[in-house]
Amino acid sequence: MKFGFDIDDTLINLREHAFHIYNQKLNQNVPVEQFHELKTVEIHEPFGLSSIEGKEMWNRTLEEIYFTTCPAYPDAIETLQELDKQGHEIFYITARPKEYGERTREWMKQQGFPVQAERFFYGMKDTEKAGIIRELKLDYYFDDKPDVLDTLANDYLRVYVMNQSYNQHLTLPRISRWSELFDILTKE
């Protein structure tokens, strides 16, 4: 079968990693509990930044956020390796900007994710993911972001929400830990 995955905040804990970087860079000590309560994908609010300042901070820090020590979620790498071993096709569909695409692909490989160059897509807008997912004829797709998931909700494929504080309102089936994936598959 064909499995598609978003990367940031679906397979890797990017926003929390960025939250720690913001604390360092802004010389603040905002407790991580505030991160877990965020109702927005954006993380700037607890730091007292406006949305414009938040956007600037994100873009200024992007290189460091993307390519340092962002951890994968528990069991994410092992679960995808197992899917790969079982002969499933694994696709990555990330809206990370074009200029970071190839480095992201290599970074993912270095972390141990099973990556094939021709199954790695990047640089599209959130709203363009749906078209790519349809063209690839994926069987399963996993993402965290309401803006993306809303565009897929009526599609034929099986969509799962990666559980996050800002997507609680979505009614799609949900995955909270990657160790649950094989349970989900056997129940289908």
> Over the range 99-124, which residues count as b (16 or more CB within 10 Å of their CB) and which as e?
ebeeebbebbeeeebbbeeebbbbeb
Size of the chain, expressed as the number of residues it contains? 188
17 binds Mg ion (CB under 5 A): no
95 binds Mg ion (CB under 5 A): no
Q: In angstroms, how far is the first alpha carbon of the chain from the final one?
A: 13
Which of 3, 4, 5, 9 is in the footprint of Mg ion by CB under 5 A?
Answer: 9
8 binds Mg ion (CB under 5 A): yes
- Confirm if 177 and 51 have CB atoms less than 8 A apart: no
* CB 23 to Mg ion: min, Å: 21
Contact region with Mg ion (CB under 5 A), list: 7-15, 45-53, 80-88, 109-117: 7-15
Distance from the Cα of residue 183 to its chain's centroid? 21
- Confirm if 38 and 45 have CB atoms less than 8 A apart: yes
160 binds Mg ion (CB under 5 A): no
Q: Mask 128-157, x = binds Mg ion (CB under 5 A)?
A: ----------------xx------------
d(CA 41, CA 19): 12
Which of 3, 4, 6, 77 is in the footprint of Mg ion by CB under 5 A?
Answer: 6
d(CA 70, CA 50): 25
Q: Which is nearer to Mg ion, 26 or 166 (CB)?
A: 166
* CB 144 to Mg ion: min, Å: 4
* CB 141 to Mg ion: min, Å: 12
Q: Which is nearer to Mg ion, 138 or 144 (CB)?
A: 144
Give residue 125's region: left, alpha or beta (phi > 0; psi -120 to 50).
beta
Q: Which is nearer to Mg ion, 66 or 144 (CB)?
A: 144
For Mg ion, the binding residues (CB under 5 A) are: 6, 8-10, 144-145
